[in-house]
Amino acid sequence: MSVLFEQIADSIIDGMIEEARDSVQKALDDGCEGKDILNEGLIAGMNEVGVLFKEGEVFVPEVLISAKAMNAGMEVLKPYLQEGDVKKVGKAVFATVKGDLHDIGKKLVALMMEGAGYEIIDLGVDVSPEKIVEAVKQYNPDIIGMSAMLTTTMVAMKETIETLKEEGLYEKVKIMIGGAPVSDKYAKQIGANYSSDASAAVDLANQLMAV
């Protein structure tokens, strides 16, 4: 990895927003290829953040700041990327289920997956099974990610899966669920896949997509 790419990656890991912008611009000024800056700088940095998060070296606030730094770098880089430079691993629709307004965990998973090359459609919070099914029809995603932080709202995950089955869409998507009260046992009961945290969610998505 060149020194410039290392600087970009380090700016992401350290959550240095201005440095991310500046180091991406410097790499462009030096004639580096857009796709190399993306893969060897920005994505490499975000991947390292994922590893640190998994190992308990960094926590949610740091990951969110790193994601902001990556987005800042991407803003500079986007005009220089060619069609095909950004290889999308897959498309995922995310939602916090009906009755639940918790957002941070879902946002974190979405950011980490975006950093790993997924296209993310975030439907927000308090999303009904019908809205999720509508989104599947509209966006044709590979993955649905559902989050619940309350025991009382977990049932909406089951309802969503039942609605997907009724509409004949269940076999067309992989379903991931997570959140404080959710367990692997519950996921298996309702026909979904469980991840314990944002880093595990990226690994799970990659397994489901056979990346």
Percentage of residues in the chain having pLDDT higher than 90:
78
Q: CB–CB of 144/204 below 8 Å? A: no
Q: pTM of the entire structure?
A: 0.80
- Reading the block at residue 120, the tokens are 């993310």
When comparing pLDDT for 172 and 88, which is higher? 172
What was the pLDDT predicted at 1? 57
Distance separating alpha carbons of residues 165 and 157, to the nearest angstrom:
13
Q: What is the pLDDT of residues 126-154, one digit of tens each?
A: 999 999 999 999 999 999 999 999 999 99
What was the pLDDT predicted at 86? 77
Closest CA to 129 of 153, 152, 98: 98
Distance separating alpha carbons of residues 51 and 40, to the nearest angstrom:
16
What was the pLDDT predicted at 141? 98
Q: What is the pLDDT of residues 172-189, one digit of tens each?
A: 999 999 999 999 999 999
Neighbours of 62 (CB within 10 A): 16
Identify the CATH number of the domain defined by range 3-80. Answer: 1.10.1240.10
Neighbours of 88 (CB within 10 A): 9
State the DSSP code for 211: -
Q: What is the pLDDT of residues 34-79, one digit of tens each?
A: 999 998 999 899 989 988 988 999 988 999 899 999 989 999 998 9
What was the pLDDT predicted at 105? 87
Does the CA dihedral 79-206-144-123 come out positive or negative? Answer: negative
| Architecture field, domain 90-208 | 3-Layer(aba) Sandwich (3.40)
Strands 90-96 and 174-178: unpaired
Do the domains spanning 3-80 and 90-208 agree at the CATH topology level? no
Q: CB–CB of 16/69 below 8 Å? A: yes
3-state secondary structure of 31: coil
Domain residue ranges of the chain, discontinuous segments joined by +? 3-80, 90-208
